[in-house]
Amino acid sequence: MSDAPKPTLAPVIAVDGPSGVGKGTLCQRLADRLGWHLLDSGALYRLTALAALNREVALDDEAELAAVAAGLEVEFVASRDQPPRILLAGMEVGVELRGETCAAAASRVAALPAVRAALLQRQRDFRQAPGLIADGRDMGTVVFPDAGLKLFLNASAEERAMRRYKQLREKGLDANLMSLVEEINARDSRDAGRAVAPLQSAADAEVLDTTSLSIAEVCDWALRLAARRFDFPKIA
């Protein structure tokens, strides 16, 4: 055995919670503020689902779906203050990925252990200096159990549906609040009820109910905890 010192791993802030709770916005702001990398792990499940739909792979063919996940040709093009552009085999797919068809299919493929295993190392590879903000469902429990800070956000299904409803209306898209609540409830129970890596907060996570909080308040909470946990030169 060599006595050579192990290379220090870059620090990680793991941010978990259910759909529509505001993790994406929080993570984007934290990454911009701290100058850290960003992992949108949900996008990897959505990309697997999209690639499978495009290739007409059945959403219950676990072995074939795992092969699709392992072979994803994906590129995240980071840009400041904006969600990264996402390219699948060189094609921009950001808008398609956010659609309900992809979301529902992603939730099905994410329940399959072989798909999760196929995506594990790809997620860990995002851990690079100076640090990583990891957004998902199992960041603090499975992917980065040694994360220096684990945050778990929650909010009522009604509030999350209302946020999504407003987002869709602002984009001029049709939306029905009742069916959004139903979709969110269905996705929550699939994500929390699956056998592998179910949605749950890590025992050592800091938990926040964001139902009546603004995004600025949630960011301040996260930055305060981060400043206490990590040795930043300065967080303005």
Binding site for ligand DC (CB under 6 A): 19, 41-42, 45-46, 103, 106-107, 110, 136-138, 187, 191
Instruction: Compute the distance between CA of residue 227 and CA of residue 32 in angstroms, rounded to an integer.
Output: 15
- Nearer Cβ to ligand DC, position 45 or 126? 45
Q: CB of 232: closest distance to ligand DC in angstroms?
A: 26
Chain-centroid distance, C-alpha 27: 9
Q: CB of 54: closest distance to ligand DC in angstroms?
A: 17
- Nearer Cβ to ligand DC, position 131 or 135? 135
Q: Where do we find the tokens 């305060």?
A: 224
Q: CB of 14: closest distance to ligand DC in angstroms?
A: 10
- Nearer Cβ to ligand DC, position 102 or 226? 102
- Nearer Cβ to ligand DC, position 189 or 224? 189
Sheet of 149-154: strand order equals 37-40, 132-136, 12-16, 149-154, 206-209
Instruction: Compute the distance between CA of residue 32 and CA of residue 125 in angstroms, rounded to an integer.
Output: 20
How many residues appear in the chain?
236
- Chain position whose Cβ is nearest to ligand DC: 42
Q: What are the φ/ψ torsions at residue 207 (nearest 5 degrees)?
A: -105, 135
Pull the structure tokens for residue 224. Answer: 């305060």
Q: CB of 191: closest distance to ligand DC in angstroms?
A: 5
